Structure 1
């Protein structure tokens, strides 16, 4: 018995150093390089072919690194004493190589757990040489990354967006990240494209859209959307109006304004809620789809001649707003079917989920081959309910 007791005590003493070494891989917080945003562009440098790397194009990665002391001082000018951030650019042929090269150029260990946005230029994912999924693969596999990082496609230089000026944020990425939430106030923006959502679309092999971002003299714009096909290749951009129609067709409108004309004057509906339902029936070997949209909102602007307290006036406005939503949706549908030939609405996904036997017959020819999507008969219906008239019934005297 004494022999076993001594053995147990000796074993505990041997294990004690192991238990005390739980932080073997720790990095002190003042030695971390906090990466807030990453921008990926295609290099303009003349590419050198390599037998080992093939024709993989060079990428320029720009990393926005935060300076904690600068965040306290509120200095927004990069490169100046007390600045809140600095941008570091490197050139390589893969994301892993970009990060490795960047690590060799900064005195602090790159740390991605606080990464907020990934911005990729449309040129970097245009054509067949660069795979969009390959770029995202690095971020999806890294254990420091979160699934809620926002992914954006830049119309033009992604690098330039990490240097935009902001009046009310300490660094450009914070300005961009805050603006992304404004999709609840306008239907001309797509909902946030988080990396987890984008990964799901890639795995489903469906066409999808991602938030578009562009820069201009006074800041940034998030109007519009970037369209990708089922092979996750960049196809083109949708305008703000087309994006608004897409949001209605997908039932993803969280807010925004619908305008229409009544007696040669503008009236506005402030959208508070919108849904959509899809139905499909087969006729003569082809499917006919019906997309039914229901929207609710508040009158944002009325006209002096209209008595908004009368039910007949309310019904007249509801019909006009419904026609405007149908018009907006059909414009988007026309663009997707005839110009891009890509089903970003999700009609094919509906058939996959609800008409599996029929979908197996046509899946290979939906967007490719015979391109059945381009010939699909889609009827759009809309119903609008005005729930409130705003805070006043009359804005001026007759």
Structure 2
């Protein structure tokens, strides 16, 4: 009986196995066993990959996270004395630039003890002409090599910026680790001083400075952010561009003005606070903020207008091979501050006078920004792109000489209207 059951289940020698139905059953069983074997092998192979770990794993304490980079000219050490030691020789080029990098300290306990001394970061530097070669040379000073995927800021000294930054930026634009959102700044002094400054914050200097541009939308008198990706696009398109100027004072850093770069990638001048306000309107990037003007009740005091809605439009017209820009701006907001408390802010005459003063201030800022760009022959507000869109045929004839010849001769009409919605205190 046992033998019969064994044969019925498909054992060889059973005459029933030769029937067509039983043959198909056996074939299905064989295929099923093969599928299970393949699946089991696949699962085992996958598990071996998961438990193998990262072949290129590197501990966070051993990786040199670069958060900030400063680029200066090398300071001359003066005449060489008889017993001075030679510096490390270079294979090519000259000892022209000093590149300074800032890294965080990963021993948080030690860093917290020394944070008030400004020792929550590490500073390394090297000299040379090639940015790539300098970073590799810095690797010989420490056991962890510079790693740029978390870089926050890139700071140029004004002296370097005025010579041109196009060649220097080539390394930062080619490096696959570099972030396109890296903030770019110019400082009147030494760029390394920005990274080494003892600020009254616990964050690493570069991280704190990188966050400063988050508030520029609320402060229309200060230059907006300039990112490495935006500058790269300007370099490829031979456009002028503007970069915020940063300074340090009394353990604080401050965004001050804007550095204007022409299409040859050289800093040629600055925009002050008033011109920056007008430049944001010409570029149509103004979002919010306040505008301060003389108080019509007493010009010795001021009145502040808070912008919460805006309408901006710029049209172009071509006549006798000359461009005319017509700027129309409507700013709607509140009376944010009245320094003459005795004045009745609800008085319609006073409200109209304030609107007139604010409109005059905004008009002055637009004309000042336009004039400064014409003077420096640098269209940083990208008005040429507007001409390109509205007059493509005309643009083909002037694009190669736009900044140098055509734009400096352009004309400007400005029409600004201010509307104060809430002139009184609401609570």
TM tier, shorter chain?
Answer: 0.7 to 0.9
Deviation sequence 1:85-106 (CA, Å, 0-9, x none): 1211111212211211111111
| Partner of residue 329, structure 2 | 293
Q: Deviations over 1:239-263 (max 9, x none)?
A: 2222222123222233233223313
**Any idea what SS the aligned residue of 2:248 has?**
strand
Q: How high is the TM-score relative to the length of structure 1?
A: 0.84
Deviations 1:277-320 (A, max 9, x none): 21011222322111222223221222345432244432332122
Residue 221 (structure 1) aligned with residue 254 (structure 2): yes
Is 1:37 matched up with 2:37?
Answer: no
- Match in the other structure for 2:394: 358
**Alignment deviations for residues 124-160 of structure 1 (CA, whole Å, 9 cap, x no partner):** 2323xx5x23333333333333222111112221000
For 1:331, which of 353, 359, 368 is the aligned residue?
368
**Alpha carbons of structure 1 residues 21 and 136: separation in structure 2 relative to 1, 3 Å:** farther
* Whole-angstrom distance in 2 between the partners of 1:204 and 1:68: 41
CA contact (8 A) 2:158 2:186 kept: yes
Quick check: 1:146 aligned with 2:185? no
Q: d(CA) in 2 for partners of 1:282 and 1:319?
A: 31
Q: Show CA shifts across 1:176-200 (max 9, x none).
A: 2233223133222111112222222
Residue 221 of structure 2 is aligned to residue 188 of structure 1: yes
* DSSP-derived class of the 1:271 partner: strand
| Compared CA separation, residues 64 and 378, structure 1 to 2 (3 A) | same
CA pair 238-377 structure 1, distance change in 2 beyond 3 A: same
Runs (5+) with no aligned partner, structure 1: 394-398
Q: Which moved more, 1:229-238 or 1:97-106?
A: 229-238
What residue is the counterpart of 1:346 in the other structure? 382
CA distance in 2, matches of 1:387, 1:106: 61
Output the TM-score relative to the length of structure 2: 0.79
Q: Is the CA contact 1:292–1:381 (under 8 Å) kept in the aligned structure 2?
A: yes
Partners of 1:213 and 1:221 within 8 A in 2: yes
1:17-56 residue pairs with structure 2 within 5 A? 23-45=54-76, 53=92
The structure with more helix, counted as a fraction of residues: 2
Is the 1:337–1:343 contact (alpha carbons within 8 Å) kept by the matching residues of 2?
Answer: yes
User: Structure 2: which 5+ residue stretches go unaligned?
Assistant: 1-26, 79-86
Is the partner of 2:124 in helix, strand or coil? strand
Q: After superposition, where does 1:1-398 map in structure 2 within 5 Å?
A: 23-45=54-76, 53=92, 58-70=96-108, 73=112, 75-76=114-115, 83-127=119-163, 130=164, 132-253=165-286, 254-265=288-299, 266-302=302-338, 303-338=340-375, 340-368=376-404, 371-389=405-423, 391=425
Quote the Cα distance in structure 2 between the aligned partners of 1:264 and 1:10. 87
- Cα distance between partner residues in 2 of 1:267 and 1:250: 26
Q: Distance in 2 between matches of 1:69 and 1:294?
A: 54
Distance 2:90 2:60 in 1: 42
Structure-2 residue corresponding to 1:396: none
Contact map agreement 2:293 2:358 (CA 8 A) in 1: yes
Please list the CA deviations of residues 69-89 of structure 1 after superposition, one character each: whole Å capped at 9, or x if unmatched.
23772632568xxx4212111
Distance 1:23 1:179 in 2: 36
How far does residue 378 in structure 1 lie from its aligned partner after superposition? 1.0
Shift of 1:59: 1.4
Please give the alpha-carbon distance, in whole angstroms, between the structure 2 residues aligned to 1:163 and 1:239. 26
RMSD of the TM alignment (CA)?
A: 3.3
The residue matched to 2:181 in structure 1 has which SS?
coil
Alpha-carbon separation, structure 2, partners of 1:365 and 1:31: 52
Question: 1:285/1:186 Cα in 2 relative to 1: closer, same or farther (>3 Å)?
Answer: same
Equivalent pairs, count: 382
Q: Is the 8 A contact 1:228 1:234 kept in 2?
A: yes
